[in-house]
Chain A
């Protein structure tokens, strides 16, 4: 069964760090492109980061220099290291698989986890 399960969300003070993980089952994390997307309380979706199958990564301007996306092929997990956290980083963080319909990537997201909540507050 194709499934994504996020973990690692917690309450942290401003300036602190959190490491989120996404356990992938049913497909290979190294053979697909993967996203982190977040949703602040009562707000819309915001793209955070992407990692392509070849290892290329990129970040939204709002997190560039503070967040790092990585993957562990042996554990089939996707990770997000979040440093220098700010109150505005408070959100549910989703990992998602990039959609590929056989004729190439579509920059859409076809499989989502249930999300993990990061709260940044003093």
Chain B
């Protein structure tokens, strides 16, 4: 049960786009379209942003989108806004009831 790999940090200027990758293996990200993404502001609980690789729950702005290629999933944040500054986590189903999280990426809006 190894964690998925995310870069520790990412940054962009307001209005720009940023992509956060999440790398797993052929046993998790590569095998299932059950990748989710979460946003967590300091001291707060995580919030679901993306499920099943590309789908957004109601209320999540369409500035947030997801994709997957092979063993790597990505979160794309377009039109960066100051309030997007937060930690972002990916997760993937890994079979046998196991869910793996990434180590998290702190996004800084410059």
Whether B101 lies near A47 (C-beta < 8 A) is yes
- Chain B stretch 43-99: residues in CB contact (< 8 A) with chain A: 45-48, 51-52, 55, 57, 87, 89, 91-93, 96-99
Whether B34 lies near A108 (C-beta < 8 A) is yes
Interface size on B, residues (CB 8 A): 29
Whether A50 lies near B55 (C-beta < 8 A) is no
Closest to B103 in A: A44
Q: Mark A60-91, 1 if CB is under 8 A from B, else 0.
A: 11100000000000000000000000000000
Closest to B33 in A: A106
**Bound-complex Cα distance A35 to B103 (A):** 18
- When distances are taken between beta carbons in the complex, the residues of chain B under 8 Å from A50 are 97, 99
B21 at interface (Cβ–Cβ under 8 A)? no
**Bound-complex Cα distance A37 to B89 (A):** 13
- Chain B stretch 1-39: residues in CB contact (< 8 A) with chain A: 1, 3, 32, 34, 36, 38
- Chain A stretch 26-64: residues in CB contact (< 8 A) with chain B: 35, 37, 44-47, 50, 52, 56, 58, 60-62
A113 at interface (Cβ–Cβ under 8 A)? yes
Nearest-neighbour CB distance to chain A for B84, whole angstroms, equals: 19
B109 at interface (Cβ–Cβ under 8 A)? no
- Report if A112-B47 is in contact (Cβ < 8 Å); known contacts: A35-B99, A45-B89, A47-B99: yes
**Residue with the highest number of chain B CB atoms closer than 10 Å, among A46, A52, A62:** A46
Which A residues fall within an 8 A CB radius of B? 35, 37, 44-47, 50, 52, 56, 58, 60-62, 94, 99, 101, 106-110, 112-115
Which B residues fall within an 8 A CB radius of A? 1, 3, 32, 34, 36, 38, 40, 45-48, 51-52, 55, 57, 87, 89, 91-93, 96-104
Instruction: List 20 A-B pairs, Cβ < 8 Å.
Output: A45-B38, A45-B40, A45-B91, A46-B3, A47-B100, A50-B97, A50-B99, A58-B96, A58-B98, A62-B1, A94-B46, A106-B34, A106-B36, A107-B34, A107-B36, A109-B36, A109-B48, A112-B45, A114-B45, A115-B45
